């Protein structure tokens, strides 16, 4: 089956990024949201990102102003599920909540053509649990993108015990056509990246709680000592403390190991509404986003 038209569920940070890379790779994309205002917000983000690529220019891996126009023309927003009917693959990137995701899949299963592949961008929820909500379990996979989607090269392609080899390979090839590097993984909570990344991020918080170093010093140490692009606290704020906190629950529930459990400080910051960069405050204060100031807790 040839993939030509892509549906994306959700136009938040991940959904808009996924829609952008699909349109950039030449696919016609329809993005579904519950309200027009969320589409408008997501499309503003896409436009901003495309402006950056256009400023860089094709010789440095960017795009031409003409290509920017063509990419935007391939993107369509909708609040009507019927517009997804002829999509060949539908990638879900809505809120990280099992019941909401299952409800969404169940509501489009009868609308989207039956040969289409359903993919979830979930970072921690079991893909197998999600596929119980549809009548096409063999055409259901995980496609896990990374933030910021237009820049990060990796896509984890997640196979469940019910996924057919044909649907899996089609999704794997599709990820390549997006200009990404796909890796094969199975439906074990956290897949490859979060299985290794989450305990590292949580350990950074524990190290801070134990007085090993300040937030700035731990960040500098990991950036300069290991060559990471961001230190753990900068990355935690970037990913979102609420998102990380949610992932700790799912992973701890699966493995029952302390390394996946939330440290007390993370829980308290989430309770206080300090979600990181998106809420203006996390391990750093972003009152001036160009000059984040590390907190002392
Ligand atoms: N679109 C287009 N271009 C963008 C952009 C975007 N959204 N964001 C940044 N850029 C461009 C900038 O304009 C800049 O372009 P230039 O070189 O032409 O000036 C270039 O990208 C580099 O940006 P910056 O100078 O602002 O910053 P960095 O060099 O630090 O790069 C980064 C930014 C790529 C985000 C890098 O810091 C990085 O790789 N950080 C780690 C991110 C990471 O680990 N992500 C995974 C999170 S885990 C996850 O998502 C899984 C989930 O399940 C939790």
- 159: closest CA among 210, 216, 120, 101? 120
What is the C-alpha separation between 205 and 218, in angstroms, rounded? 10
How many CB atoms are located within 10 Å of the residue 245 CB?
Answer: 16
Q: Average pLDDT of 12-35?
A: 97
Same domain as 104, residue 75? yes
pLDDT tens figures, 190-223: 999 999 999 999 999 999 999 999 999 999 999 9
Same domain as 201, residue 179? no
pLDDT of residue 195: 97
pTM: 0.96
Domain boundary among the residues 143, 169, 186 is at 186
Same domain as 175, residue 74? yes
222 Cβ below 6 A of ligand 1: no
51 Cβ below 6 A of ligand 1: no
Which is the closest atom of ligand 1 to the Cα of 149? 7
Q: Is the peptide bond before 276 cis (omega within 30 degrees of 0)?
A: no
Domain of 253: which CATH number?
A: 1.10.1040.10
Phi then psi for residue 184, to 5 deg, are -90, 130
Give 3-state DSSP helix, strand, coil % of the chain, rounded to 5: 50, 15, 35
Same domain as 46, residue 19? yes
Q: Quick check: is 264 in a domain?
A: yes
Q: Average pLDDT of 32-55?
A: 98
What is the C-alpha separation between 236 and 193, in angstroms, rounded? 14
Domain of 171: which CATH number?
A: 3.40.50.720
Same domain as 160, residue 37? yes
Tokens at 208, concatenated: 């801070």
- One DSSP character per residue, 42-75 reads HHHHHHHHHHHHHHH-GGGT---HHHHHHHHHTE
Tokens at 48, concatenated: 């901003």
pLDDT of residue 94: 97
Which is the closest atom of ligand 1 to the Cα of 14? 50
Ligand 1 atom 2: residue of nearest CA? 49
3-class SS of residue 142: strand
Would the pLDDT of 1 be above 90? no
Task: Report whether 181 contacts 154 (CB < 8 A).
Answer: yes
Domain extent at residue 66: 5-186
Same domain as 29, residue 117? yes
148 Cβ below 6 A of ligand 1: yes
Q: Quick check: is 295 in a domain?
A: no
Q: Quick check: is 140 in a domain?
A: yes
251 Cβ below 6 A of ligand 1: no
Distance 108 CA to ligand 1 centre (A): 33
pLDDT of residue 36: 98
pLDDT tens figures, 105-117: 999 999 999 999 9
Same domain as 222, residue 170? no
Same domain as 206, residue 80? no
Active site residues: 123, 144, 156, 194
How many CB atoms are located within 10 Å of the residue 192 CB?
Answer: 16
pLDDT tens figures, 125-179: 999 999 999 999 999 999 999 999 999 999 999 999 999 999 999 999 999 999 9
pLDDT tens figures, 248-263: 999 999 999 999 999 9
How far, in Å, are 27, 78, 83 from residue 23 at the CA level?
5, 15, 17
Q: Report the domain count for the chain.
A: 2
Same domain as 222, residue 173? no
Task: Report whether 218 contacts 208 (CB < 8 A).
Answer: yes
Ligand 1 atom 1: residue of nearest CA? 49
Distance 104 CA to ligand 1 centre (A): 30
230 Cβ below 6 A of ligand 1: yes
What is the C-alpha separation between 257 and 8, in angstroms, rounded? 34
Domain boundary among the residues 121, 153, 186 is at 186
Domain boundary among the residues 161, 186, 211 is at 186
pLDDT of residue 2: 87
Find the angle CA(203)-CA(206)-CA(212) to the nearest 5 degrees: 105
Q: Quick check: is 290 in a domain?
A: no
Ligand 1 atom 11: residue of nearest CA? 52
Same domain as 172, residue 122? yes
CA 276 from centre of chain: 16
What is the C-alpha separation between 102 and 284, in angstroms, rounded? 35
């Amino acid at each position: 089956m040839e993939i030509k038209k892509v549906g994306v569920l959700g136009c938040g940070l991940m959904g808009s990024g996924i829609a952008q890379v699909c349109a950039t790779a030449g696919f016609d994309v329809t993005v579904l949201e519950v309200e027009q205002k969320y589409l408008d917000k997501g499309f503003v983000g896409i436009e901003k990102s495309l402006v950056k690529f256009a400023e860089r220019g094709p010789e440095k891996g960017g795009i031409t102003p003409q290509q920017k126009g063509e990419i935007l023309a391939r993107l369509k927003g909708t609040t009507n599920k019927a517009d997804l009917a002829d999509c060949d693959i539908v990638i879900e990137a809505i809120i990280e909540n099992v019941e909401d995701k299952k409800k969404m899949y169940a509501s489009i299963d009868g609308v989207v053509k039956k040969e289409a592949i359903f993919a979830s961008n979930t970072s921690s929820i079991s893909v197998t649990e999600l596929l119980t909500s549809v009548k096409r379990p063999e055409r259901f996979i995980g496609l896990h993108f990374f933030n910021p989607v237009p820049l990060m090269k990796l896509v984890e392609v997640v196979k469940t015990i019910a996924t057919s080899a044909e649907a899996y390979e089609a999704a794997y090839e599709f990820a390549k056509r997006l200009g990404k590097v796909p890796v094969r993984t199975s439906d074990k909570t956290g897949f490859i990246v979060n299985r290794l990344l989450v305990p590292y991020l949580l350990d950074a918080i524990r190290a801070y709680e134990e007085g090993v170093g300040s937030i700035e010093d731990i960040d500098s140490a990991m950036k300069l000592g290991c060559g990471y692009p961001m230190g753990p606290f900068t990355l935690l704020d970037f990913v979102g403390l609420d998102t990380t906190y949610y992932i700790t629950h799912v992973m701890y529930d699966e493995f029952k190991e302390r390394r996946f459990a939330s440290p007390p400080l993370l829980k308290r910051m989430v309770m206080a509404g300090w979600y990181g960069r998106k809420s203006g405050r996390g391990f750093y204060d972003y009152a001036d986003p160009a000059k984040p100031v590390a907190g002392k807790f």
